[in-house]
Structure 1
Amino acid sequence: MYDPVRPKERNNTTGSPNMIRLAKRWLQVCRDTHSCQPNDDKPPLLPTRVVDVGLKDDDPPRVHNAEPGQRHHYITLSYCWGDQRKIKFLKSLKENIVQHTRSLPATLHATLRDALNCTRALGFRYIWIDALCIIQDDTADVGREISQMGHIYRNSSLTIGAGNGSDVTSGLFVERDSFLFRPCFLTMRLNGQKHRAYIHRFPHQYLIPLETRLWVVQEQILSQRTLVFLSDHVEWRCRETHIPENIPSGFLSRRRGSNISDLQAVIGQSTRGEMRFPYDQWYTAVSALSARNATFLTDQLPAMAGVASLLHENFGLTDPAKYVAGLWKDDIIAGLIWLRRRAQPSQRTSGDGYIAPTWSWAANPVGPVSFPTAERWGHKPKWDLRQLEQMIVIQTINLEPENVADNPFGKVNPGGYIKITGKLREAITRPVTKEYRFESELRALYTGGNGSIAGVFDKANGTEDPQIVGLVSFDSLEEREALPKIECLPLLKFPSGYSSEESPCTMICLALKKLGEQYQRVGLIGLFRMHRIVEIRDGLDGEDVWDYTPDDIYWDDETWDGTPDRTISIF
């Protein structure tokens, strides 16, 4: 139970002295009674650079270069930069970093200025702000510091969340009617005992802009404690509690619907349970973060490097080379089985540069991805990997991080490929028209209605009306509209004893398109039992009549046994 600070003056601004006192009390109670780290026992190592706000109000803030081994408590800032084409705000660059170590100019935008004032008011001397503590036009420095973001945010005593707006001009503090956010409660009697029930306004904005940005979500996941300044009130969030200022008792942070809290729980789990640790944790994080917006399309891998590094460290994955463009070599089959939940038109341009090979979910960031073989939030996977038969042999994965020494979890160099030995069959793709309807379970596997699904038809039967053998979920709408000829590469086979009620599929395949002597991924295919298709015709009473097609498998084991193995490269 958290007792509110009884106001001696009205909290007409979220940055009032009274509000700061309440925030300091939240922090102290968390340090004293929670398992959130770090606590006061031993200060952490300072990041390479921090902003020193000084000890007195008139001390000019400056960028401080930490001495080797220097330890001190510090806090971090999580905020939205905004559209850099429209907003030019102060950043540390090669040309001004020396001056910044002497003093920062007074022309800071509101969010950065308020963050420095809040740091001093909370009793801290140092704060880490990415725009000021990373030399933004120094590629090597950016790579080094991004690789350390997992440690920077995890070792921070507190993260200040700028939830009041979508860019650096918004500031932290806002004026409001404080009476709307004073704790209001009723005393109730239940089973002969008195209980206190709090009455509060429901937030008008559940998902704040801060939580829609890819970089920011990683920061929130990695932070142990966050003090969020919203558009009309302040909230405390840590690994154990979530406390809006008008609900002093707070409530548990493990709330479903809050991806931040859920992901913090998943990333921080120390027991294996039934999940395939740590890989299901990673797929859970990717699914959530891929739904967020990135400043640049090339941010996909760098913006998740902190989470990747943390999982790599926590679960003893000693060789960073086992991390390849957002996937893990030791779990590469499951990693290749991803779907776009809501495929969208590609936003890539020729100037965006290389992101990742096509077999990685990061290659073409056009919507959130899901991993059907991964357990998420305790729910069983759509397809249980442990019961399926592997159909391919991975020969080699050739991929080089852009900055091997300083950030093996960041950007990758062009030319990466995976060499696979397996069976290939040609197919054509066509729209799934009205004469076919698929049972809800099959549609659910492909998150039906995402607009990127087409039918896979056998090309080899030589008829004008080729037989449909499966469904393909294309990775982008452009591929869906082009309806290309594809090659089907089976990855996993459902055993004969696998119940058709558990899955209508017989095989999971990659959809590939040949370019020269290599292939690129364009989607994921499910081949299925033919009795899972129904034909629809008009009945006498105007109702649809569903007729099941014959109960067999068109591309059966005999078909695949007669298909020779080939070794191909997918880039």
Structure 2
Amino acid sequence: MTRSFEDAIAITRYLGLRHIWIDSLCILQDDPEDWDRELATMHAVYSNAVLTISVTGAEDGTLGCFAGRKLKKYVPIPYSDSKSGLDGQVYAFALPAALEARPDKYIEMSSEPLSARAWCFQERVLSRRVLHFATDQMYFECNAGFQSEDGLHLKKRYFTLHGDPRSGFLPVPGGSTSDTNMQLWYNILWSYGPRKLTKSSDKLPAFAGVAAVFAERLRDQYLAGIWRKSMIEGLLWQALDVAEVKDRKPSWSWVSIDGIPTSGLIGRWEQLAFIIDCQVDLVGESRFGEVKSGWIKMEAPLLPLILVESVRSSDDRETGLPLKQKHLFFRTPRGLRTPGQVDPRTPGGVDAKSTGRFDSIGQRHEEAETLAREGKVFALVLAVDVGDTSHKLMIYHSLLVTPVDEGGDGTTLKRLGFVNLEIESLGEDEVRTSRTTVTLE
């Protein structure tokens, strides 16, 4: 038994509690069936716990809850009161200026070892109360707020799924709307996306507890991280700060990347694609667990993209991008001019009206350019902004896709990234009238 487990058991006894749940001891690690069975109820374990003990500052289980930490330097400050005749001294220490200026940094604890681990994310989000043993001190959070050993008390906490009205991270109150739930969903994905996994295949299992709670709230079907009722919006995620992942499927889900899957739609928009059918093949029995594969059959405009120009910036003072950044400029065959562009590395793009990114080949510019020059890149148009009635700023939100099988009919596709193109680079007549039935894998 590791030092962390021993300390956790001692703390549980000290608090007068009779039972403790430790994942790696209570779940048979080498039994896939037991693992899959327990995965489906993980959200209930943490949501119903009296307290979750988090060894937040430990790199591994050998350090325990009470690892050595750097002592604070206390300064004596004398005081006296002539009226009461009291005098003496108190001891004070300096608080980090950066943390005092942004108290949320205390709550995030982003520099703590456990905060980088994917499996530990849902444990914190699902728990009603968490006692953190960090590298510098102890912290406690619950729906009443966040408190530190040194006296800091904030009236909010980290993401919670327990309806805390004081949470600074958009809680889900009872009876909240679907839009509010979805907004919280995307906020949570932003924080979960870049967290690290020992096993790449655990991307969905490590998030299963959170997904199970949202499934109950949304009353929706969960398909490899995407919700069926809002599938068009869900498919238009944009990959930020991405580390490439090999052979994690399906390509249309954010599970295919390690990074931040931010929502691509803001404001009012009109759906241009229509889902015909969809299916996900699971590794086990849990619908929130690991996925073998998945496909979506839809009807949408599928437009070939022509590479107009490939340029390399030598001065980042104009673009705000790194030196020697490469940009790929696209249009469709009927596009009138060439503002539509895909920046394979930078999510902001060069032109604020035409932005895009390759998900997995973003750092390999030559490969992206070759794929484009060979005519193997298409825009699968899913939605269009309708907030601007003048049509001058209409942006068509599309997926960058390529055929899976060169010998096929070209309608079985995989996602390469996303691209948001203005109307002139597409040709509105074509995008409004063209419809192709495709299968996205």
Aligned-partner SS, 1:460: coil
1:135: which partner in 2? 28
Answer yes or no: is the 8 Å Cα contact 1:119–1:125 preserved in 2.
Answer: yes
Partners in 1 of 2:363 and 2:229 — Cα distance? 32
AA at the equivalent of 2:57? N
1:426 aligns with 2:307: no
Change (3 A) 1:431 1:341: farther
Tell me: CA distance 1:347–1:325, structure 2 relative to 1, closer, same or farther (3 Å).
closer
Residue among 395, 401, 425 paired with 1:506: 395
Q: Distance in 2 between matches of 1:134 and 1:559?
A: 55
Of 231, 236, 239, which residue of structure 1 is paired with 2:135?
A: 231
Shift of 1:491: 0.8
Is the CA contact (8 Å cut-off) linking 1:452 and 1:474 kept in structure 2?
no
2:7 aligned residue (90, 114, 120):
114
Q: 1:409 aligns with which of 284, 288, 298?
A: 288
SS of residue in 1 equivalent to 2:256: coil
2:364 is aligned with 1:473: no
2:422 is aligned to 528
- For 2:157 and 2:434, how far apart are their aligned partners in 1? 51
Query: What are the Cα deviations for residues 267-317 of structure 1, in whole angstroms up to 9, with x where unaligned?
Result: 5433537x713222222211110021112111111111100101122x251
Q: 1:208-264: per-residue Cα shift (whole Å, max 9, x none)?
A: 1111111101101111111111224211111222111220x62212479xxxx9989
1:278 to 166, 175, 181: 181
Q: Report matched runs for 1:32-431 at 5 Å.
A: 108-175=1-68, 200-202=94-96, 207-247=111-151, 250-254=153-157, 265-266=169-170, 268-270=172-174, 272=176, 276-313=179-216, 315=217, 317=219, 322-344=221-243, 346-348=244-246, 355-365=248-258, 367-373=259-265, 383-384=266-267, 387-404=268-285, 407-414=286-293, 416-429=294-307, 431=310
CA contact (8 A) 2:314 2:324 kept: no
User: AA paired with 2:237?
Assistant: W
Displacement of 1:114 in angstroms is: 1.5
Q: Which residue is equivalent to 1:87?
A: none
- Cα distance between partner residues in 1 of 2:66 and 2:440: 51
User: Does structure 2 retain, via aligned residues, the 8 Å contact 1:512–1:519?
Assistant: yes
* Count of matched residue pairs: 392
What secondary structure is seen at the aligned counterpart in 2 of 1:335? helix
Tell me, in whole angstroms, the C-alpha distance in 2 between the residues paired with 1:184 and 1:500. 67
Contact 1:343-1:451 within 8 A present in 2 as well: no
Instruction: State the secondary structure of the residue aligned to 1:295.
Output: coil
**Hey, what does 1:71 align to over in structure 2?**
none
Deviations 1:3-37 (A, max 9, x none): xxxxxxxxxxxxxxxxxxxxxxxxxxxxxxxxxxx
CA drift of 1:495 comes to 3.4
Report the Cα distance in structure 2 between the residues aligned to 1:270 and 1:167, rounded to whole angstroms: 37
Flag the 1:398–1:187 CA change in 2: closer, same or farther, 3 A: farther
Structure 1 match to 2:381: 490
Contact preservation (8 Å) 1:343, 1:452: no
Superposed CA RMSD: 3.8
Shift of 1:359: 0.5
Indicate the SS of the match to 1:413: strand
Tell me the alpha carbon deviations over residues 171-213 of structure 1, each in whole angstroms, 9 at most, x when there is no partner. 111345777589999999xxxxxxx998653379752111111
Question: Cα offset for 1:451?
Answer: 10
Task: Rate the CA distance shift 1:213–1:369 in 2: closer, same or farther, 3 A.
Answer: same
Deviations 1:467-510 (A, max 9, x none): 44333311122664412230111111233844679xx4521111
**Structure 2 spans left out of the alignment, 5+ residues:** 82-89, 100-105, 343-355
SS at structure 2 position matched to 1:568 = strand
**Structure 1 residues 264, 136: closer, same or farther in 2, change over 3 A?**
farther
- Tell me if the contact between 1:164 and 1:171 (Cα under 8 Å) persists in the aligned partners: no
- Counterparts in 2 of 1:452 and 1:396: CA distance versus 1, 3 Å: farther
Larger gyration radius, structure 1 or structure 2: 1
Counterpart residue number, 1:34: none
Q: In structure 2, what is the equivalent of residue 103 of structure 1?
A: none
Q: Is the Cα–Cα contact under 8 Å of residues 427 and 456 in structure 1 kept in the other structure?
A: no
TM-score by length of 2: 0.77
Residue 224 to residue 265, structure 1, CA distance change in 2 (3 Å) = farther
- Structure 1 residues 294 and 186 mapped into 2: Cα distance closer, same or farther (>3 Å)? farther
1:215 maps to a residue whose letter is: W
- Give the percent of matched residue pairs that are identical in Structure 1 and Structure 2: 26
Instruction: Please give the alpha-carbon distance, in whole angstroms, between the structure 1 residues aligned to 2:158 and 2:290.
Output: 33
Report the Cα distance in structure 2 between the residues aligned to 1:176 and 1:286, rounded to whole angstroms. 32
Secondary structure of the structure 2 residue equivalent to 1:153: helix
Deviations 1:58-101 (A, max 9, x none): xxxxxxxxxxxxxxxxxxxxxxxxxxxxxxxxxxxxxxxxxxxx
Say if 1:179 and 1:279 are closer, same or farther in 2 by CA, change over 3 A. Answer: closer
TM-score normalised to the size of structure 1?
0.61
TM-aligned CA deviation for residue 409 of structure 1: 0.9
